[in-house]
Structure 1
Amino acid sequence: MVFLIAIIIAAIINLNTGFLTLNFNDFVQDSGNSQIAEIRINRVLVMLLAGISIPTSGFLMQEYFQNPLAGPDILGITSVASLSVAFYIFFSSDIQLPEFLQNSFLSISAIGGSLLLMLVLLSMSNKFQDKSYLIIFGFLVSAFAGAFVSLLQLYAENQSLKNYILWSFGANNMVTRNQIWVLSLLVLAGLFICFRTIKPLIGNSLGSSYAHSLGVNLQHLKLLIITASSLLSASITAFLGPILFIGIIVPHFCRLIYNPAKLWQQWILNMLLGMLIMILFSIIAEKTMIPLNVISSIFGIPVILFMLLKQNKV
């Protein structure tokens, strides 16, 4: 209840944050500021969707890999999704498509890239006895994807380069209502798959032998984790750019707040805390004019460093 009240208050503050002061009639009636009001409503909606999706993706991966540092950005999923979007933006600049098709292809490119990487990660996880090596592999993939994006930027046309830079800043004010509909469908599909993974994940957390005794199909669980994590993280990356570290730090805070063994409650808590943090980040971005992904990095890096120091101390 505390989180729900905080989310509502933060959303109201977000709606009233901007260069112009709006009144209630601007949000419910046609007026000279109705378009600005619609932009702010879209901004709040997309932040709520991001707050649901990114922490859920990180929560699934951390529970599956049993590693608190696993996440869509640390393991390279966000970087590869960004590379896929960069390919689409740079090589489709001369192709004229309707807006809804552009949004669809943008999502497909991001999800396809992240899905491909997740398949590679899970195949590599069978070869690495120590799963911490998988994080190192993710860093290497992120570095390779970043280098390739830089190469594309070097040879890109001015307008394509500008479009990619604006996308990479996480410009939540640029998301339209049609894009939100597409994003909502992708998020709902990812959440439905996530719902089916929670019970098998409870058995998986007790060990593979115990999971088999409960009738858990570990290969099927792996496939569900791949699909859900890719849908949730890549769909947000497609429309908002790479929002880093949120998928790691939100599950970490949730485990500190409530019993980490109760996965159903942990999932709900991840979504609530994620929505609150993303709306607060959006308010800070509007007040300071700092890009959203920069704010998430400034906030996330010290938290992850603290987590590493704490684990080392233990």
Structure 2
Amino acid sequence: MSDQFKILCLVLILAILLAAVVNLNTGFLSLNVKDFFTESSNGQIAEIRVNRLLVMLLAGISIPTSGFLMQEYFQNPLAGPDILGITSVASLSVAFYIFFSHDLLIPEILQNSFLSLSAIAGSLLMMLIFLSVTRKFQDKSYLIIFGFLISAFSGAVVSLLQLYAENQSLKNYILWSFGANNMVSRNQIYVLSVLISAGLWVCFKTIKPLIGNSLGTSYAQSLGVNLNQLKIFVIIASSLLSASVTAFLGPVLFIGIIVPHFCRLIYNPAKLWQQWILNMFLGMLIMLIFSIIAEKTQIPLNVISSVFGIPVILGMLLKQNRV
């Protein structure tokens, strides 16, 4: 590893630690250190803040990794779970689950599992459809349009479900769609950790073949890269990582696009192992900052990510157009 990479990692780790401390001290009530380690009157509030911190760290690891995998596989800096419709279809799957499972008596831990499984199933289906469409569209811009159409269709179906939904189901979906990180329980974090760990393991198996794939299909095959297996691994890893966070935090948009973009700006984009590490560190830092802003302003998390992400993506498009 180069000295530049080590310095970048050190700076990001220190910034993450600082943001974590600020995050734990952000809220309507001031807490002491003992509130986080002893059973005090403010123990429940401290637990909520710790849960908020943990889920933001997990989201910061998983969403940029999902976008990083898709951008490297498709060789498109605009590829991501948001732009290509994966997050929208995962949201649609969660909406079906929330609206049609209210009459079922399901234990809480199983509700968390079914919620995540519905999001993952929707994202896997979208990825399979998208990969089949890539063979027909040679121009990458058509893929972006296709993802936009899928997102619009998913949004229309969700609006239709909201129109006929019962009050409690509608309230649950709206709260979920706001990206309320304070509502994530410890059991949900356990489920989320397992899903993200599985996605990261598949991602680890994918990086080396991606390096060969970046050099061209013919060269990758000469190196012994199994392109069909690589495609499957990218589908599984991206779907697990993006859909698991979507299931519990709602659609946190554009993070999977802008974080890999920033990482390529600050370090050599050809070194994929280092890029993956930087994506996780920078993703954790950005999500912690968003969490602090959300607590200070009471603005939903997905609104903050959109306000931050849209200008960055517009800048990327203008830069590509000039080139």
TM-score (norm 2): 0.97
Alignment correspondent of 2:4: none
1:26 has 2:29 as partner: no
Kindly state the Cα deviation for residue 273 of structure 1 after the two structures are TM-superposed.
0.2
Tell me the equivalent position of 1:136.
145
Q: Residue 132 of structure 1: CA displacement? A: 2.3
Name the % identity: 81
Q: Deviations over 1:13-61 (max 9, x none)?
A: 0000000000000000000000000000000000000000000000000
The alignment status of 1:122 with 2:126, answered yes or no, reads: no
Cα distance in 2 for residues equivalent to 1:4 and 1:68: 25
Q: Work out the CA distance in 1 between the residues paired with 2:212 and 2:148.
A: 29
Q: Which runs of 4+ in 1 moved over 4 A?
A: none
Residue 181 (structure 2) pairs with residue 167 (structure 1): no
Give the alignment partner of residue 289 of structure 1, picking from 284, 289, 298. 298
Does residue 258 of structure 2 align to residue 249 of structure 1? yes
Pairwise mapping of residues 180-219 of structure 1 onto structure 2 (< 5 A)?
Answer: 180-219=189-228
Equivalent residue for 2:274, pick from 257, 265, 274: 265
- Corresponding residue for residue 7 of structure 2: none
Alignment of 1:1-314 (within 5 A): 1-314=10-323
Distance in 2 separating the partners of 1:299 and 1:80: 22
Q: CA offsets per residue over residues 51-98 of structure 1, 9 Å max, x none?
A: 000000000000000000000000000000000000000000111211
2: CA distance, partners of 1:197 / 1:93:
39
Aligned-partner Cα distance in 2 for 1:146–1:66? 27
- TM-score of the aligned structures, taking structure 1 as reference length: 1.00
Distance 2:140 2:304 in 1: 30
- Alpha-carbon distance in structure 1 between the residues aligned to 2:150 and 2:321: 25
Matched positions, count: 314
Measure how far apart 1:126 and its partner are.
Answer: 1.3
- Distance, in Å, in 1 between the alignment partners of 2:126 and 2:319 is 30
Q: Distance in 1 between matches of 2:140 and 2:220?
A: 19
Could you tell me how far apart the structure 2 residues matched to 1:61 and 1:131 are? 13
5+ residue gaps, structure 2, are: 1-9
Partner AA of 1:195 in structure 2: F
Q: Please list every run of 5 or more consecutive structure 1 residues that lacks an aligned counterpart in the other structure.
A: none
Q: Deviations over 1:174-218 (max 9, x none)?
A: 000010000000000000000000000000000000000000010
2:57 aligns to what SS in structure 1?
helix
- Quote the Cα distance in structure 2 between the aligned partners of 1:18 and 1:89: 29
For residues 136 and 193 of structure 1, the distance between their equivalents in structure 2, rounded to whole angstroms, comes to 28
Structure 1 Cα separation of the partners of residues 138 and 78 of structure 2: 17
| Separation in 1, partners of 2:109, 2:261 | 37
Whichever residue aligns with residue 28 of structure 2, its letter is F
Q: CA RMSD in A?
A: 0.5
Shift of 1:131: 2.5
